[in-house]
Structure 1
Amino acid sequence: MAVFTPIELSEISPWISQHFNIGEATDIRGIHGGIENSNFFLDTIQKGKTQEYVLTIFERLSAEQLPYYLELMRHLANKGIPVPKPIENHQGEILFSLKGKPAAIVSKLPGISRLQPAAKHCALVGEMLAKMHLAGKDFPQSQENLRSLGWWQQTIPLVLPHVNSSQKYLLTNELATQEAFFASSNYDALPQGASHCDLFRDNVLFDPNSSNDPREDQLGGFFDFYFAGTDKWLFDLAVTVNDWCLADNKQDLDLARCDALLQAYQAIRPLTKEEHASWPLMMRAAALRFWVSRLWDFYLPRNAQMLTPHDPSHFERILLSRRSL
C-alpha cells in the first residue's frame, strides 16, 4: 500500500537469506493504495521454485500491539480460513525488526479483486465472514478495535477545524448518538470476538480458476488484518455491507447485493434479536468510523511515497444515507 519506508532489493536480499528459510529474494515492489503501512510484494526462489510473499513494515502500530494481528491470522489460517499466514524466521518468530521498525512477512493469497461485485461475490464474502467469526471464537488473545468509539472521541475534535458548519453538526450529533448506543443494554448484549473491521472490496481476493468469467469465481481469501480487533461481530458485518453492497449512486444500499450477503452470513451464523434491533445504528457507526478516519488522513496527512488519500466525502454521503434508514 503506501510506502513510508522505502527498501531496495540489495537491502532485503541478505536479510532474507540470513533470517528465513524461504529462498533467495529476487524482487521487491512497493504496493500502491493504502495509507497505514509500508507494503511490498516480495518474490523469492528456492530450489528452482518461485514464491510470492507480502512484506509489511508497520508505521503506526507498535510492537506491543502487533502480536494480536499476526497471531489471529495464524489462528484463522490453521482453522482453514483463507487468510495470509505469517512466515516464521529461524528463531520461530513472526514479528521482527527491519529498518528500526516492526515488520512481518506473510503468504500471498491467490486471486484478484472484484471492485464491481455481483450478488454472488457478496454472498461468498458474507459466508466466509461468518465462518471467520466462528473460527475466531476460541482465539485466546483480545485487543480492542483501536479505531472504535474512544478513537472517534479523540479524533473528531482534531478534524472539526477543517470542516464546514453542516459537517461539524453531523460529526458531533452522530458521535453523541453513538455514545448513547455504545452505553445501551442492547449494545452490551451483542456477541463479539475477533473481527476484521476493514473488509473492503480491495481486501478480498477471488480465484477465477483459470476463467475470466466472474460468475465462476471462488473466494481466494481475506487479507490486511491490521485494523482487526475484538469487537462486536455486527460492527464487522456493517463495515462489510457498507462497502460491498453500495448502489450505483455510491451511497445507498443495493438490495440484491445486501440480501445476498446477509442471507449467506446468516446461513452460517444467524443474528440475535439484539443484533437485528441494533442494525440501523451499527450501520451508522460503521460509516462514521471511516468518515472520521478519512478526514484525519486527508487533513492531517503524513509524507509517504505512493500515498493517495481517500476522498472523505464518500463516507459522509454514506452516513447521511444510513441516518435516513
Structure 2
Amino acid sequence: MAVFTELSFNEVAAFFRGLGLGAPRSVRGVTSGIENTNYFVDTDGESYVLTMFERLTFEQLPFYLHFMKHLAARNMPVPDPVADAHGVILHPLRERPAVVVNRLPGASEAEPAAAHCSSVGECLARLHLAGSDYPRQQANPRGLQWWNEVVSVLGRCVSARQRLLLSTELSFQNELALSSDYRQLPKGPIHADLFRDNVLFERERLSGVIDFYFAGCDTLLFDIAVCLNDWCVDGLTRRHNVERAAAFLGAYESARPLTSSEHKLLPAMQRAAAFRFWLSRLWDVHLPRQAALLKPHDPSHFERILLMLRGEFALS
C-alpha cells in the first residue's frame, strides 16, 4: 500500500455515497507497500479500505477482485469487494480504477513464531484448495516472462557482480521451467505475495489475508516458496529457521500434501521466489515512481537470500 494520489475527504465521501455506504468519519492514507493508493476509511458502522490502482487497468482487475469474492464466498478470511446497487465492484475515481473492501481485523506480525507460521501454512493450503475451481485465468504478472523482460534493463543499473548473478540465475530459472518435473507441478491461482505484512492476526489467530493484487495462475509451489523465504527466514542472519519452516510445511501438508515433484523442486522454487522479489525491489529503487507517501524496500535483503539459497557467500 502507498499514497500516489492524494484525495480530499469530500472526494472519498462522494465515492462512498455512490456505493451506498455510510458517511466517512475518518480518512487516512496508508504508507506501507509500493503499488497502489490506499486509504483507511471509517464510517459509523464499518471500517473499509479504499484502493485506487495506479498500475493495473480496468481490464486487468476483474481477475483479482473476483478471485477475492470467490474466496470470501468459501469462508476464507479475505477482503470482500463492495458492490453498488447494480452489482458493480470496480469504479472510476480520478480517472483510475478504484474499489472498496471491508477492512479485516487484526495486525501483521513482524516477528512470527512457529505458531504463526503454522497458521499461515494451513491457511495457504486452504486458499489453494478453495481457488482450485476459480474459472478466470491470468498468468502470474511477475513470473518468468517478466523476469526475462526486466533483467536486461536492470543490468544497466547494477554492478558487474550483480549483472552476473542476474544472468546466471535467469538462465537457471529458464532451464528449470522447461524440465519435466516443473511441468508436473500442480498449478492454479496463487496469492504470490503472502509476506508478513499481508497477513493479519488477532494474537496468534490468523484473522485476514490481504493485498491480492499480484495474484495470478502459477505453480502452487511458488506461493509456498514465497512464504518460506519471508516467514521462515531470520531477519538478521537471512538463514532459514528450521522450526518455523517445519511448522509451516507440516500445517500446509495437513490440508494439501505436496507431490513428489513439489518436494523435489522446493529448493529451486525458493530460489525463484527470492529472484522475483530481488528483481522487483531493484526495479523500485532504480526506476521509481513518484508517490506522496512511499517507502521502497531494500533489494539487498533478497539478494542475500538468493545467494544463500545458491550456496554462495551472502554479503554481510
- Give me the TM-score of the superposition, normalised by structure 1: 0.94
Deviations 1:17-71 (A, max 9, x none): 1x112211222111011110001101122xxxx2100010001111111000000
1:104 aligns with 2:99: yes
- In the alignment, what sits opposite 2:50? 55
Question: How many angstroms apart in 2 are the aligned matches of 1:159 and 1:237?
Answer: 26
> Counterparts of 1:4-23 in structure 2 under 5 Å?
4-17=4-17, 19-23=18-22
**Per the alignment, do residues 287 and 219 of structure 1 end up closer, same or farther by CA in structure 2, a change over 3 Å counting?**
same
Amino acid at match of 1:313: S
1:203 aligns with 2:198: yes
Q: Of the candidates 76, 82, 97, which is equivalent to residue 81 of structure 1?
A: 76
Question: How many angstroms apart in 1 are the aligned matches of 2:49 and 2:76?
Answer: 18
Poorly superposed stretches of 4+, deviation over 4 Å: none
Deviations 1:136-182 (A, max 9, x none): 01111111100001101111111111111111111100000000001
1:127 aligns with 2:140: no
> In the alignment, is the contact (CA less than 8 A) between 1:204 and 1:223 conserved in 2?
yes
1:255 aligns with 2:238: no
> In the alignment, is the contact (CA less than 8 A) between 1:283 and 1:322 conserved in 2?
yes
Deviations 1:258-296 (A, max 9, x none): 110011001110100011111111000000000000000
Structure 1: 5+ residue stretches without partners? 209-216
- In the alignment, what sits opposite 2:228? 241
Tell me the percent identity.
50
Question: How many angstroms apart in 1 are the aligned matches of 2:237 and 2:149?
Answer: 28
Q: CA deviation at 1:250?
A: 4.3
CA RMSD between the two structures: 1.0
1:268 aligns with 2:255: yes
1:37 aligns with 2:36: yes
Secondary structure of 2:104's counterpart equals coil
- In the alignment, what sits opposite 1:95? 90
- In the alignment, what sits opposite 1:226? 213
> In the alignment, is the contact (CA less than 8 A) between 1:9 and 1:26 conserved in 2?
no
Question: How many angstroms apart in 2 are the aligned matches of 1:15 and 1:243?
Answer: 36
Secondary structure of 2:155's counterpart equals helix
Structure 2: 5+ residue stretches without partners? none
Q: Of the candidates 247, 268, 274, which is equivalent to residue 281 of structure 1?
A: 268
Question: How many angstroms apart in 1 are the aligned matches of 2:15 and 2:133?
Answer: 35
